[in-house]
């Protein structure tokens, strides 16, 4: 029994040979479309190549030689969209964009798209984009960042990349893309319903409505079905044709001439007017969703056959014959010659090496780049000018929030490509005023107030990074990350992996988080879980406990993100933003002077801090836990306990060997982790101790409860407290020390954003 791929192939060959080809729904001449006869045949060749690659992939899969069969059959009209663009116009592609990729490759000499894509099908380590890690459409030379099975997750960064083009021009920066480029983003009709797509399209319209230049073409390839779920007829037009700020155009994706004509209009609007366009392209899906998809389970045979009768290659063949360019038999000869060529190339591709070791697979997660010189330090006069309104404050020790603010200002003054973005980061200066004054110093082009959508904020940052910016996005609260975690996990962090280190999106994501704060309350403003980051390969996680560390760690994070092209998560403990004192009011022990770069020791990624040299008890902690442990430490030391306190500072990567060596001399170890008992880093630390040390110290851990954080006075009830640290330490030591009176837990000093005291 023939499978549907064979039916589609035989139908095409028979129709071309017999001349029984459908009339195009629209009658458009070559001249009206702006296409020559030679160009039309060239587009058809790209369509045939894409189709034959799909068929070949299924043949190879049956032999165990190919590992991906989601193809482009029915969507080959996107070759005409590729032709309407320049190869330097960055393209975030749908997985059915094979013909687009082939057509684009023809614009740059020396490309070998057939061999490259077959290497990808075969998961060869010589695949030039992913190095055998996945079948992706991508190319550094062709400005196509790789995508896997995209379900709209690429739209937010496409918006960000488009936004970056006029921004780089405005700032006079040397960017990755030419300054008159546009960005194109392809996706399906089913994906258009995804919240990520809706948010990205809304973000584009929101920006354009306010006059922000945005050279973007959003291409919805509408084949009417998402795997087995039909898209309601007329839905895409109804949903997107009247969106404010968005130009809506539509074309018949079965007709190369109509597709090219309308795509050219879309690109011209985006390029010349710097406005976003929604290009709605009618297409069909042939041969099922993938090779394993039995369409007959959810579609009638008549429906399947009707769809096959709309094969876009049939219409393309009719256009070529009607315009007297080639005869039907010549088209058949072209088909067979290409099929033979692809078969020969495929037999070579499947013999090429594969990834065989974990080390080979992991290598691209942390691409080591050549060290780059640090930006020139500001001259004395430049620093005076930058901080002229802060001179009085800078003469006195300040809490963490203010030191982060000044560090951001100095970094932005040093790095002209550094951009801060997020909700309320402008005039308000953020919920906790940590970005206060940056707008006045650097202007709205570099301190970008965004709409309320974390997916769009992170997408903007990823897109900016694609075009040579160092992005510093801010997420207001840790709990809000969950609205957009796939932008970190599925897009930002995976990009080096799926591009074999060729593409990256360096950024430092600042997130206000953890518990203990006053004023704002409840779970959404106090979130004590970092598990969402800890299992993302390649991610760096910083969590300073005091202002001096925060300043140095932020400098390290930005340098590391830029030099190593990495994504860094910078967790800022909200409750410590405005904390000045440690043991008693007015002692100022948690305040620090602001030091310019080079005036204090740097803190490298993974470098932890050690307070005390005692070996009787070691307390391993971070963030608010370090602050509370220092309070508890005064009580413990007063009773003669020889104490050592380790502040992790960086939660990923951990300096496992260094931590083990610091713990090794100690008799007892208490791990204090303000995050939840389940899924917290304390679990990893316990494992580290037992795996690294032959004779580990007697160990206990004190963590937060496995619970969300409530409102009001109960907010800290499930979190570690100073007195609990003292008690847990004494219980671990097994000594009968008396707890001094008056050493009850003290609340940390953080107020709500509207009540922060200066």
- Show the CA angle centred on residue 464, arms to residues 458 and 466, nearest 5°: 105
**What is the spatial distance between Cα 699 and Cα 69, in angstroms, rounded to a whole number?**
52
Q: What percent of the chain has pLDDT over 70?
A: 95
Number of C-alpha atoms within 13 angstroms, CB side, residue 119? 21
**What is the spatial distance between Cα 169 and Cα 149, in angstroms, rounded to a whole number?**
33
Query: Average pLDDT for residues 680-686, to the nearest whole number?
Result: 96
2-17 pLDDT tens trace: 688 899 999 999 999 9
- pLDDT of amino acid 50: 96
Residue 563 phi, psi dihedral angles, 5° rounding: -70, -40
Cβ-based neighbours of 162, under 8 Å, separated by 6 or more = 182, 183, 204, 214, 215, 216, 270, 276, 463
- Residue owning tokens 């990567």: 653
- pLDDT of amino acid 367: 63
Order the strands of the 668-676 sheet from edge to edge.
609-611, 643-647, 617-621, 668-676, 698-704
Q: Decide if 650 contacts 607 (C-beta within 8 A).
A: yes
Residue-range definition of the domain harbouring residue 333: 4-349
Mean pLDDT, the chain, rounded, equals 92
568 with 678, same domain?
no
- pLDDT of amino acid 116: 95
Q: Decide if 438 contacts 429 (C-beta within 8 A).
A: yes
Residue 209, SS3 per DSSP: helix
* Banded model confidence at residue 287, pLDDT cuts 50, 70, 90: confident
Residue 743, pLDDT above cutoff 60: no
* Banded model confidence at residue 271, pLDDT cuts 50, 70, 90: very high
Residue 752, pLDDT above cutoff 60: no
Please indicate, yes or no, if residue 371 is contained in any of the structural domains.
Answer: no
Please indicate, yes or no, if residue 501 is contained in any of the structural domains.
Answer: yes
DSSP for 435-496 reads TTTHHHHH-TTTEEE--S-HHHHHHHHHHHHHTT-EEEEEES-GGGGGGSHHIIIIIITTHH
530 with 666, same domain?
no
471: number of Cβ within 10 Å: 29
CATH number for the domain that contains residue 711: 3.40.50.920
345-399 pLDDT tens trace: 999 999 999 999 999 998 888 766 666 777 888 888 888 899 999 989 999 999 9
682 with 567, same domain?
no
Q: Decide if 587 contacts 581 (C-beta within 8 A).
A: yes
Answer left, alpha or beta for residue 430, where phi above 0 means left and psi between -120 and 50 means alpha.
Answer: left
Residue 616, pLDDT above cutoff 90: yes
260 with 184, same domain?
yes
Closest CA to 516 of 627, 399, 678: 627
What separation in angstroms does the CA of 109 have from each of 105, 181, 536? 8, 20, 38
Q: 365: part of which helix (H) or strand (E)?
A: none
* Banded model confidence at residue 745, pLDDT cuts 50, 70, 90: very low
Residue 93, pLDDT above cutoff 80: yes
DSSP state of 119: H
* Banded model confidence at residue 26, pLDDT cuts 50, 70, 90: confident
Residue 614 phi, psi dihedral angles, 5° rounding: -60, 155
515 with 651, same domain?
no
In this structure, the dihedral spanned by the alpha carbons of residues 594, 596, 602 and 604, taken in order and rounded to 10 degrees, is 90
Please indicate, yes or no, if residue 740 is contained in any of the structural domains.
Answer: no
**What is the spatial distance between Cα 157 and Cα 127, in angstroms, rounded to a whole number?**
24
Higher local confidence (pLDDT), 647 or 24: 647
Please indicate, yes or no, if residue 364 is contained in any of the structural domains.
Answer: no
**What is the spatial distance between Cα 215 and Cα 212, in angstroms, rounded to a whole number?**
10
- pLDDT of amino acid 758: 23
CATH number for the domain that contains residue 503: 3.40.50.970
- pLDDT of amino acid 751: 34
568 with 613, same domain?
no
Query: Average pLDDT for residues 445-464, to the nearest whole number?
Result: 95
Domain boundary among 306, 328, 349: 349
553-576 pLDDT tens trace: 999 999 999 998 999 999 999 999
Cβ-based neighbours of 3, under 8 Å, separated by 6 or more = 58
Highest-confidence segment of 511-515, 645-649, 742-746: 645-649
Closest CA to 663 of 615, 711, 709, 603: 615
DSSP state of 176: S
Higher local confidence (pLDDT), 440 or 290: 440
Beta strand pairing call for 643-647 and 609-611: antiparallel
- What total number of domains does the chain contain? 3
Query: Average pLDDT for residues 122-142, to the nearest whole number?
Result: 93
Q: 541: part of which helix (H) or strand (E)?
A: strand 540-542
562 with 614, same domain?
no
Cβ-based neighbours of 548, under 8 Å, separated by 6 or more = 403, 592, 595, 600
558 with 695, same domain?
no
Please indicate, yes or no, if residue 596 is contained in any of the structural domains.
Answer: no
Query: Average pLDDT for residues 484-489, to the nearest whole number?
Result: 91
281 with 403, same domain?
no
- pLDDT of amino acid 684: 96
9 with 157, same domain?
yes
345 with 385, same domain?
no
- pLDDT of amino acid 365: 82
Closest CA to 361 of 198, 573, 123, 181: 123
- pLDDT of amino acid 2: 64
Query: Average pLDDT for residues 81-101, to the nearest whole number?
Result: 96
Query: Average pLDDT for residues 62-77, to the nearest whole number?
Result: 89
Please indicate, yes or no, if residue 742 is contained in any of the structural domains.
Answer: no
Structure tokens at 650: 């960086």
Least confident of 18-27, 178-187, 275-284, 745-754: 745-754
Q: 363: part of which helix (H) or strand (E)?
A: none
617 with 717, same domain?
yes
Q: What b/e sequence results for 183-218 when a residue is b if at least 16 CB atoms lie within 10 Å of its CB, and e otherwise?
A: bbbbbbbbbbbbebbbbbbbbbbbbbeeebbbbbbb
Domain boundary among 557, 576, 595: 576
Q: What b/e sequence results for 161-172 when a residue is b if at least 16 CB atoms lie within 10 Å of its CB, and e otherwise?
A: bbbbbbbbeebe
- pLDDT of amino acid 520: 63
27: number of Cβ within 10 Å: 11
- pLDDT of amino acid 227: 87
- pLDDT of amino acid 296: 87
Number of C-alpha atoms within 13 angstroms, CB side, residue 368? 2
- pLDDT of amino acid 366: 72
DSSP for 554-619 reads HHHHHHHHHHHT-EEEEEEEGGGSS---SSSTT--TT-B----TTSS----TT--EEE---SSEEE
């Amino acid at each position: 029994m023939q499978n549907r791929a064979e039916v589609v192939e035989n139908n095409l060959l028979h129709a071309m040979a017999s001349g029984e080809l459908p009339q195009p729904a629209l009658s458009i001449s070559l001249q009206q479309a702006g296409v020559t006869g030679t160009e039309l045949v060239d587009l058809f060749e790209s369509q045939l190549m894409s189709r034959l690659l799909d068929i070949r992939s299924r043949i190879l899969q049956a032999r165990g030689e190919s590992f991906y069969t989601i193809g482009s059959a029915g969507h080959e009209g996107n070759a005409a969209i590729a032709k309407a663009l320049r190869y330097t116009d960055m393209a975030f592609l749908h997985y059915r964009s094979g013909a687009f990729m082939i057509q684009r490759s023809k614009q740059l000499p020396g490309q070998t798209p057939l061999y490259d894509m077959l290497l990808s099908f075969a998961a060869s380590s010589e695949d030039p984009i992913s190095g055998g890690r996945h079948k992706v459409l991508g190319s550094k030379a062709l400005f196509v960042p790789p995508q896997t099975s995209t379900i709209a997750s690429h739209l937010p960064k496409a918006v960000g990349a488009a936004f970056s083009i006029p921004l780089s021009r405005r700032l006079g920066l040397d960017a990755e893309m030419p300054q008159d480029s546009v960005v194109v983003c392809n996706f399906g009709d089913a994906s258009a319903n995804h919240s990520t797509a809706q948010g990205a399209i809304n973000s584009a319209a929101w920006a354009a409505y306010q006059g922000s230049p945005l050279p973007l073409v959003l291409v919805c390839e509408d084949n009417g079905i998402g795997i087995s779920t039909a898209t309601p007829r007329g839905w895409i037009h109804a949903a997107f044709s009247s969106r404010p700020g968005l130009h809506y155009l539509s074309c018949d994706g079965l007709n190369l001439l109509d597709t090219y004509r309308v795509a050219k209009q879309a690109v011209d609007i985006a390029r010349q007017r710097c406005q976003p366009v929604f290009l709605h392209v009618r297409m069909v899906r042939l041969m099922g969703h993938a090779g394993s998809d039995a369409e007959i389970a959810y579609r009638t045979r008549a429906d399947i056959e009707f769809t096959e009768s709309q094969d876009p290659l049939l219409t393309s063949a009719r256009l070529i014959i009607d315009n007297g360019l080639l005869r039907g038999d010549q088209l058949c000869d072209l088909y067979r010659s290409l099929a033979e060529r692809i078969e020969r190339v495929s037999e070579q591709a499947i013999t090429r090496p594969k990834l065989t070791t974990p080390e080979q697979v992991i290598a691209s997660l942390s691409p080591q780049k050549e060290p780059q010189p640090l930006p020139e330090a500001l001259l004395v006069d430049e620093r005076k000018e930058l901080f002229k309104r802060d001179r009085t404050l800078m003469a006195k020790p300040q809490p963490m929030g203010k030191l982060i603010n000044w560090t951001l200002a100095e970094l932005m003054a040093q790095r002209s490509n550094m951009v801060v973005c997020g909700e309320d980061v402008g005039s308000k200066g953020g919920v906790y005023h940590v970005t206060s004054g940056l707008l006045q110093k650097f202007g709205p082009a570099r301190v970008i107030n965004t709409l309320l959508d974390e997916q769009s904020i992170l997408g903007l940052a990823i897109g900016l990074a694609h075009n040579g910016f160092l992005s510093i996005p801010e997420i207001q609260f840790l709990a809000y990350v969950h609205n957009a975690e796939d932008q970190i996990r599925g897009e930002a962090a995976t990009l080096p992996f799926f591009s074999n280190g060729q593409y990256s999106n360096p950024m430092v994501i600042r997130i206000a988080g953890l518990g203990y704060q006053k004023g704002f309350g409840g779970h959404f403003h106090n979130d004590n879980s970092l598990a969402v980051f800890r299992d993302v390969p390649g991610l760096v996680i910083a969590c300073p406990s005091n202002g001096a560390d925060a300043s140095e760690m932020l400098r390290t994070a930005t340098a590391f993100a830029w030099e190593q092209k990495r994504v860094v998560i910078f967790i800022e403990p909200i409750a410590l933003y405005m904390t000045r004192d440690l043991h008693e009011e007015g002692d100022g022990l948690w305040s620090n002077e602001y030091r310019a770069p080079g005036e204090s020791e740097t803190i490298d990624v993974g470098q932890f801090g050690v307070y005390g040299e005692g070996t009787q008890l070691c307390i391993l902690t971070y963030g608010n836990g370090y602050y509370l442990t220092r309070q508890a430490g005064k009580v413990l030391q007063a009773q003669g306990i020889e104490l050592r306190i380790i502040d992790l500072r960086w939660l990923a990567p951990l300096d496992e060997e260094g931590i083990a060596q610091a713990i090794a001399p100690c008799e007892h170890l208490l791990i204090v982790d303000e995050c939840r008992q389940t899924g917290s880093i304390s679990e990893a630390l316990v494992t580290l101790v037992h795996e690294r040390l032959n004779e580990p110290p007697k160990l206990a851990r004190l963590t937060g409860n496995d619970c969300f954080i409530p409102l009001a006075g109960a907010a800290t009830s499930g979190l570690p407290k100073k007195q609990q640290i003292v008690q847990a330490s004494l219980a671990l030591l097994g000594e009968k020390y008396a707890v001094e009176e008056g050493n009850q837990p003290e609340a940390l000093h953080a107020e709500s954003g509207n009540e922060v005291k200066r």
